[in-house]
């Protein structure tokens, strides 16, 4: 001992649990959500294209052919 006021302290190691706090699950869910969202966007785009094509076909059916046939 060095001095009268020196204290011995035993170092106790306490095991700590490894906790994810949901980050791994959130990342995985976020990725799946992104994929689903992108798929829904593609479905919406295709539906919009079909709706537009039907509208154009309907308009052409209402007009005389000389207004839109150029060849």
- Residue 6 reports pLDDT greater than 80: no
Predicted confidence at residue 12, as pLDDT, reads 72
pLDDT in tens, 38-70: 888 889 999 999 999 999 898 888 887 777 666
3-state SS string for the chain: CCCCCCCCCCCCCCCCCCCCCCHHHHHHHHHHHHHHHHHHHHHHHHHHHHHHHHHHHHHHHHCCHHHCCCC
What pLDDT is attached to residue 7?
A: 65
Q: Where are the domains of the chain?
A: 43-71
> Which of 12-16, 23-27, 49-53 is the least confident region?
23-27
Residue 45 pLDDT: 92
């Amino acid at each position: 001992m060095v001095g009268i006021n020196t204290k011995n302290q035993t170092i106790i190691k306490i095991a700590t649990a490894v906790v994810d706090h949901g980050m791994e699950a959130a990342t995985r869910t976020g990725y799946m959500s992104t994929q689903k969202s992108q798929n829904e966007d593609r479905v919406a785009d295709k539906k919009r294209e079909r709706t537009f094509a039907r509208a154009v076909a309907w308009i052409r059916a209402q007009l005389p052919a000389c207004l839109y046939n150029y060849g």
